[in-house]
Amino acid sequence: MFSAMPQPLELGKMSLMAVLQWGSRELLKQASMAEITEYQGVGEVFLGERNGFRETTIDTPIRQVTYDHQRMANATRFQSQLHVPYMRRPEEFANAIAEMYVQGVSTRKLKRTLHAMTGEVE
């Protein structure tokens, strides 16, 4: 995984899936930080403090994405809309899986499809 913006030559050597995963990772990290910035605002009321980052992995249609989400300390009212504790996959992704099952996709085909989408090996 990349922690900084890859140089254009490095991007050209990466597969499309690797570029998408890198972009997703960076976008999720920035969105996590922006969500906390918005929550804290600019008022004088103490609304908790940033407390480092935690690496999180979620399943997505473009395979697993590992990203750093911003942590908060002393912020009992803060509830992230992006990072739900113990979330393995976004709700929309889980709903799509359930819909495939309801539509009659066999368990074997569903399992094969999930492995292909998440990058897991059987």
Is 40 a residue whose pLDDT tops 70? yes
Quickly tell me which residue has 């995963």 as its tokens: 21
Give the integer Cα–Cα distance in Å for 46 and 6.
Answer: 37
Give the integer Cα–Cα distance in Å for 22 and 60.
Answer: 13
**Residue 3, token pair as written in the block:** 């922690």
Q: Within this chain, do residues 41 and 25 fall inside the same structural domain, yes or no?
A: yes
Q: Within this chain, do residues 105 and 77 fall inside the same structural domain, yes or no?
A: no
Q: Within this chain, do residues 2 and 45 fall inside the same structural domain, yes or no?
A: yes
Number of domains in the chain: 2
Q: Within this chain, do residues 24 and 38 fall inside the same structural domain, yes or no?
A: yes
Q: Within this chain, do residues 5 and 34 fall inside the same structural domain, yes or no?
A: yes
Residue 100: which domain range?
89-122
Q: Within this chain, do residues 73 and 106 fall inside the same structural domain, yes or no?
A: no
Q: Within this chain, do residues 66 and 100 fall inside the same structural domain, yes or no?
A: no
As a whole number, the mean pLDDT across the chain is 78
Model confidence pLDDT, tens digit, residues 27-39: 999 998 998 888 8
Give the integer Cα–Cα distance in Å for 19 and 6.
Answer: 9
Q: Within 10 A of 53 (CB to CB), how many other CB atoms are there?
A: 14
Give the integer Cα–Cα distance in Å for 31 and 70.
Answer: 9
Give the integer Cα–Cα distance in Å for 90 and 94.
Answer: 6
pTM here is: 0.64
Confidence of residue 4 (pLDDT cuts 50, 70, 90): low
Q: Within this chain, do residues 72 and 105 fall inside the same structural domain, yes or no?
A: no
The proportion of the chain whose per-residue pLDDT surpasses 70, expressed as a percent, equals: 81
Q: Within this chain, do residues 72 and 30 fall inside the same structural domain, yes or no?
A: yes
Q: Within this chain, do residues 114 and 80 fall inside the same structural domain, yes or no?
A: no
Amino acid identity, position 40: Q
CA nearest 115: which of 49, 43, 64, 81?
A: 64
Model confidence pLDDT, tens digit, residues 62-80: 778 888 888 888 887 888 8
Q: Within this chain, do residues 76 and 96 fall inside the same structural domain, yes or no?
A: no
